[in-house]
Amino acid sequence: METIQLAHGGGGYLTHELIRAEILSRFGNGPLAHLPDGATLPNPGGTLIFTTDSFVVQPLFFPGGDIGELAVYGTANDIAVCGGRPLWLSLAMILEEGLPLATLRRVLDSIQRATTRCDITIVTGDTKVVPKGQCDGLYLNTAGIGVRRPGFQPGVNTLRTGDVILVSGTLGDHGAAVLAARGQVPLLNGPRSDTGPVQNLVESIGTHAPHIRFMRDPTRGGLAAVLNEIVEGLPLGIRMEEAALPLTPEVRAVAELMGLDPLHLPSEGRIVAVCAPEAADAILASWRTLPEGRDACRIGQVTGDAGRVILMTLAGGKRLVDQPRGELLPRIC
Amino acid sequence: MNNWIDPFRNPAVADVLAGRIGDLGRQLAVRRPGPIRIMEVCGSHTMSIARYGLRDLLPPQVDLVSGPGCPVCVTDTGYLDTAICLARQGVIIATFGDMLNVPGSDTTLGRVRSEGARIEVCYSPSEALAHARQNPGREVVFLAIGFETTIGPVISLIDPARTEGLKNLSLLVAFKRIPPALALLRADPELAIDAFLCPAHVSAIIGAHAYDFLTGPKGIPCVIAGFEPLDILIGIDHILQQKMKGEARVENLYNRVVRENGNLRAQALIDRILEPVSTPWRGLGILPDSGLALRPDYADFDAPRKLGVPLKTGVPPTACRCGDVIKGKLHPPECPLFGLACNPDHPVGPCMVSAEGSCAAAFKYARLALSPSNCVVHQPD
C-alpha cells in the first residue's frame, strides 16, 4: 500500500512529485499552473468577502459527505451567507505520516468535484506532513474570497419585531450523520449529512435581497447557537414553534438515542435567514424550486423577548433554547 | 415500526390533560390548604418537565419538586477525589461523559485530562472492555455509578472480562438504590411530600411492587410514568385523582416498559455480583443498605481493593446548596449561587453539571420565569 512519508512534506523531490501527480493534475489549470508562491488575481470589482475555516472531522468519510467536500462547501457557504459569490479558494493540507495515498486521492477527487459544483477555483495551497500520531489522518484548511452580490446588506442591527425566521431545509443532518458514523450508535438506515453548497439558494433570493436582515449557515452549535448569537445583546428575541421545526425521522432518532437536542446539531448545507415579513413567502417559494431547498420553511419570528430564544413546545409549554455547552460534539467538521 | 414518541407528545391531548389537572387542582384546593407537593424522583423526568415547559401547564395548586434521581448529583465528593487520584496515577479512567466536569474537592476529571491524564468517555460500559483489550499494560477503571437502571449494564462487563481473562479492568463502585432514598424523603416532615412520580427506567428493573412499602393507609400515591410529556401529565393526573379519592396506591402507567415484578434477570445478576451496603449520598448523608458493592467473590474487579487506593472523604463546596436541591427543599433558582457563580460552564455543584441535574435543567430550559439577576450569565456590554 502506498502511503504518505515524512519526505512528502520535506520540500524535496517527493514533495514535488506529490504536488505534480495529485494537486496539479486536478487543480493546475488556473493560477496554480506554475506553482507560484502566491496567487495573482484580477480585481473582481465590488465589495470583497474573505473567510477561512479548518476541517478536522472524524471520520474522514461519513454518510452523505467527506472532509474534502466539507472543506470546499464550508468556506464557500460562509462567503455565500455573507451575500457573496465565491470566486477563489486556498487549500492547505496537514497529512499524517502513513496516511494511505488512496485516502488522499479520494479526498482530492471529492474536493475537485465540489469546486466544479461551486464554480470556485483553487488558486494557492500548501502541504505539510507530520510524524505518525501527531495528527489524525489529515486536516484541511481552506480560505476563500468572494464578491458581494448586489442588494445584500445583512446585519443584526436591521432586525425588527415581526421579522420572519426561515430555514432552507431540515436541521442537524450533518451532526447526526457524523455521530452515527462514529459507531457509537449502531444504526441500519442512519441519517445522511446535508453537506452541500448554499450559493444557489442565496442567488435565488434575487431581487428580495434587500429584505434579508441576516443570513448564516447553522454549522457548529446548530440552529440554537445561530439564533442565540443573533439576539445576544439586542432588545429583541426569537420565538419558534416546535411543531414547525423540519427534522428528519433519522435525525430525531439519533438525537433521542443520544440524549441530544437536535437544535444543537450542525448542518453543512443549510441557511438560516431572518427576513422582512413581506418577502418571506417569495423567498420560500424560490428556495423550494431548488433541490437543496425543497424542505424550506418558516420556523418562527422576531419578538420583543430581549436576548432570548424561546420554543413553544409540542406539549403546549414554553422553554428556553440555550446555547450548546461543554464538549458536545468534538471534531464534527 | 411503532412510533413510541409522537403519540406521547400530542398537543391536543396535552391540552385536555392540562385542563383536567387544572380542575382537579382547584377541587383539591377547596379541601386542603397549600399546594400538592409531587416529587419527581428521576432526573430524566426533571429534564423532560423543563424541556417541554410542563410547569406552564400546571395550576398553582400543583408543586413539582425535583428529587435525588440524578446519579451524578448524588455521588459524593470523595468518590470524585478517588477517581481523580487514580487518573493521576496513570490509570485509564473510563466514564460516562457527565462525570468530567463534576467538581471534586479541588479539581475535575476534565481538568486532569487536559493535564495529560487518560480519561475515556464511553456511551456504553462495553467500551471499557475494548479499552482494556487495547491497553493490556494499563489498568482501566470504569466509574461505576448509577441507579438500578445502569447497574445491570455496568456489571455485565464482569463475566466476559473473566471469561476472556482480562486482568486490567476494574470498577470504582458507588451504585445506589432508589427505594431507601424514597423512604428517607417520605419520612421528612419538613419536605411534606404528597406523592411520588416514580422513575420510569429504574422501575423497569425493580418492578412496580418495589414501591408498595410507601403506600397503604399511612402512605402516599406512587405513580410510575414514562418520560414523554403526556406520560408525565397523565402521571400527575392520576396522582391528583388518587388524592381526590383519598387513596395511596402504586399505579404503573408505564406498562409499555415496566412490569409488576420488574426485570428478574437483571435482579438475579445484581444479586449474584453485588451486596447491599451503607453508602453516602450527597445531600442525604449515609443511608443504610442504600448502596451496592461487589461481593467478595468479585474483589478482583474492585478498584480500591485491587489497586490499594482507599475511597477518600471529600469536602463539598461550602456555599453550594446542591444537598438541599437534591432533597427537594430548595428549587434551583433559590440557591444563592444559581446562574451567578454556578452555571453550566463553571459548575460549583453536581446538580449544575449532569444532563439530568435539576439546576442544569432549570438553567438550560426554564430561566424564563426567573428574576433577571439570575438569568443572564454574560451581561452584554
Tens-place pLDDT, residues B82-125: 999 999 999 999 999 889 988 899 899 999 999 999 999 998 89
Exposed / middle / buried, residue B370 (Cβ in 10 Å: 0-12, 13-18, 19+):
middle
pLDDT score of B325 more than 60? yes
pLDDT average, residue stretch A291-311: 96
Chain A residues touching residue B53 (CB < 8 angstroms):
313, 315-319
The answer to whether residue B252 sits within a structural domain is no
- 8-state DSSP, A58: S
Predicted confidence at residue B368, as pLDDT, reads 63
pLDDT average, residue stretch A292-316: 95
**Rounded to whole angstroms, what are the CA distances from B138 to B86, B131, B132, B155, B350?**
12, 10, 8, 20, 29
Chain B residues touching residue A252 (CB < 8 angstroms):
5
CA distance A232 to chain B (A): 7
Chain B residues touching residue A314 (CB < 8 angstroms):
9-11, 14, 52, 229
Residue A314 sits at the chain B interface (C-beta within 8 Å): yes
Predicted confidence at residue A185, as pLDDT, reads 63
Predicted confidence at residue A327, as pLDDT, reads 62
Tens digit of each residue's pLDDT (9 = 90 or more) over A46-98: 999 999 999 999 999 999 999 999 999 999 999 999 999 999 999 999 999 99
The answer to whether residue B86 sits within a structural domain is yes
Q: Based on the structure, what is the number of domains in chain B? A: 1
- 8-state DSSP, A19: I
* Confidence tier at A331 by pLDDT (50, 70, 90): confident
Predicted confidence at residue B1, as pLDDT, reads 47
The answer to whether residue B197 sits within a structural domain is no
Using DSSP bridges, classify how beta strands A65-66 and A61-62 pair: parallel, antiparallel or unpaired: antiparallel
- 8-state DSSP, B51: H
CB B356 within 8 A of CB B43: yes
pLDDT score of B212 more than 70? yes
**Of A183-192, A223-232, B9-18, where does mean pLDDT reach its minimum?**
A183-192
pLDDT score of A168 more than 60? yes
CB A333 within 8 A of CB A220: yes
pLDDT average, residue stretch B59-81: 91
Highest-pLDDT range among A326-330, B276-280, B337-341: B276-280
Chain B residues touching residue A320 (CB < 8 angstroms):
364-368
- The answer to whether the Cβ–Cβ distance between A259 and B50 falls below 8 Å is no
The answer to whether residue B105 sits within a structural domain is yes
Highest-pLDDT range among A10-14, B153-157, B285-289: B153-157
CA atoms of B178 and B159, how far apart (whole Å): 25
CB A90 within 8 A of CB A122: yes
CA distance B5 to chain A (A): 9
Comparing alpha-carbon positions, the chain A residue that sits nearest to B122 is A184
Q: Which DSSP helix (H) or strand (E) runs through B131?
A: helix B126-134
Tens digit of each residue's pLDDT (9 = 90 or more) over B180-190: 999 999 999 98
Predicted confidence at residue B375, as pLDDT, reads 36
Residue numbers of the domain that contains B80: 76-176+263-307
- The answer to whether the Cβ–Cβ distance between A313 and B52 falls below 8 Å is yes
Comparing alpha-carbon positions, the chain B residue that sits nearest to A305 is B368
ipTM: 0.79
* Confidence tier at B24 by pLDDT (50, 70, 90): very high
pLDDT score of B16 more than 60? yes
Reading the block at residue B129, the C-alpha cell is 472492555
- 8-state DSSP, B374: G
* Confidence tier at B4 by pLDDT (50, 70, 90): confident
pLDDT score of B366 more than 50? yes
The answer to whether residue B163 sits within a structural domain is yes
Chain B residues touching residue A317 (CB < 8 angstroms):
52-57, 229
Residue A308 sits at the chain B interface (C-beta within 8 Å): yes
CB A274 within 8 A of CB A236: no
Domain harbouring B94, CATH code: 3.40.50.11740
Q: Could you tell me which residues are beta bridge partners of residue A55?
A: A140
The answer to whether residue B103 sits within a structural domain is yes
* Confidence tier at A176 by pLDDT (50, 70, 90): very high
pLDDT average, residue stretch A205-213: 96
CA atoms of B140 and B130, how far apart (whole Å): 10
Predicted confidence at residue B376, as pLDDT, reads 37
Domains contained in chain A, CATH given: 6-34+46-148 (3.30.1330.10), 156-320 (3.90.650.10)
**Length, in residues, of chain A:** 333
Query: Is the model more confident about B285 or about B205?
Result: B205
CA atoms of B260 and B374, how far apart (whole Å): 43
Predicted confidence at residue A116, as pLDDT, reads 96
Predicted confidence at residue B323, as pLDDT, reads 85
- The answer to whether the Cβ–Cβ distance between A322 and B100 falls below 8 Å is no
The answer to whether residue B98 sits within a structural domain is yes
- The answer to whether the Cβ–Cβ distance between B376 and A252 falls below 8 Å is no
pLDDT average, residue stretch A125-139: 96
Tens digit of each residue's pLDDT (9 = 90 or more) over B289-313: 999 999 999 999 999 999 999 988 8
Q: What are phi and psi of B158, to 5 degrees?
A: -65, -50
- 8-state DSSP, B67: E
pLDDT score of B365 more than 60? yes
pLDDT score of B379 more than 50? no
Predicted confidence at residue A326, as pLDDT, reads 67
Of B100, B233, B366, Cβ closest to residue A319: B366
Cis ω before A59 (30° cut-off from 0):
yes
CB B132 within 8 A of CB B120: no
Q: Maximum distance among all alpha carbons in chain B?
A: 69
Exposed / middle / buried, residue B111 (Cβ in 10 Å: 0-12, 13-18, 19+):
middle
Considering only residues 239 to 268 of chain A, which have any Cβ-Cβ distance to chain B shorter than 8 Å? Answer: 243, 252, 256, 258-259
The answer to whether residue B244 sits within a structural domain is no
CB A192 within 8 A of CB A267: no
Query: Is the model more confident about A306 or about B172?
Result: B172
Chain A residues touching residue B364 (CB < 8 angstroms):
320, 322
Predicted confidence at residue B205, as pLDDT, reads 97
Reading the block at residue A58, the C-alpha cell is 472524524
- The one-letter code for the residue type at A69 is E
